[in-house]
Amino acid sequence: MLLKFLGTGTSQGIPVIGSHHPVCLSNNIKDKRLRTSALVTSDSGKKILIDCGPDFRQQMLTNGEEQIDAVLITHEHNDHIIGLDDLRPLIFKNKASMPIYCNSRVGIEIKERFPYAFSDQKYPGAPSFDLFEIEADFKLFDEVAVQPIDIIHSEINILGFKFKNLAYVTDANKINDKEKEKLKNLDFFIINCLRKTEPHHSHFILPEVLDLVEELKPKKTYLIHISHHLGFHDEVENELPDNVHLAYDGLEIEF
């Protein structure tokens, strides 16, 4: 299987509109970060999108991707779902509704924000979504086993996802001990890391992530949902432990 990082930036992306912060002015392509999202390709070629934010269209075009077979949603914040309408050309191409997997609270939010995708009398050109509630481990296409991970993001519970021995966790600021058991000794641990210092109410910062890595002992860790306050890609990469890396838009890992 293959995971491609479509975006690795925080909710505003990098560069931030109007910002003159040095990282926002960087010419290094690895410092240009679209909103966080990933694409998993199964061994048979099925494409599973994790989150669908406002940069989805640009991400698909930039990466030459033309196929989505299912969507997994971590939570309902705009930078993770507001691009769902841009699935339209893929829905029309498939001539079938797009299956979207999420928890029940997120499903309610999607119906409220995209009511026309669920209407009995759709106007021409409207997308069509099929919602599936995630309550336990499940399989996609009778091929891809998905284990949901219960994550705490400030005041709400959201989902991470584990495939084989890779786990994808974004927008976390706490993981309880029971869920940590699912994340021990991974081959690949993908985890949000907003900035170097100054604690945040809903996101891990670098010292917290490094403590978590020490506790869970993954073979390799990739940081996502990064803000410009974390620093320049090349400089931070050189400061991190050998088994911890900054993910960047377009990076692929095979697992």
Residue-range domain boundaries for the chain: 2-250
Q: What is the pLDDT of residue 123?
A: 87
CA nearest neighbour of 208 among 227, 193, 189: 193
Spatial neighbors of 139 by CB under 8 A, at least 6 apart, are: 145, 146
What is the CATH number that goes with domain 2-250? 3.60.15.10
Q: What is the Cβ-side half-sphere exposure of residue 222, based on CA atoms within 13 angstroms?
A: 22
Q: Is the pLDDT of residue 41 over 90?
A: yes
Alpha-carbon distance of 50 to 52, in angstroms, equals 7
Which residues, 6+ apart, have CB-to-CB distance to 133 below 8 Å? Answer: 101, 102, 103, 104, 107
Q: How much is the pLDDT for 151? A: 97
d(CA 181, CA 187) in angstroms, rounded, equals: 14
Q: What angle do CA 32, 34, 40 make, to 5 degrees?
A: 120
Residue 161: is its pLDDT beyond 90?
A: yes
Specify the pLDDT at position 122: 85
Residue bearing tokens 């309610």? 108
Beta bridge partners, 131, equal 100
159, 135 in Cβ contact below 8 A? no
pLDDT in tens, 88-123: 999 999 999 999 999 999 999 999 999 999 999 888
> pLDDT digits over 239-255, tens only?
999 999 999 999 999 99
CA-to-CA dists, residue 16 to 19, 20, 32, 187, 192, angstroms: 5, 9, 10, 33, 18
Percent of the chain exceeding pLDDT 90 equals 98
Cα–Cα distance, 244 to 248 (Å, whole number): 13
Instruction: Tell me the torsion sign for CA atoms 147, 104, 247, 46.
Output: positive
Average pLDDT rounded to a whole number, residues 165-171? 98
Q: Which two tokens stand for residue 250?
A: 């377009």
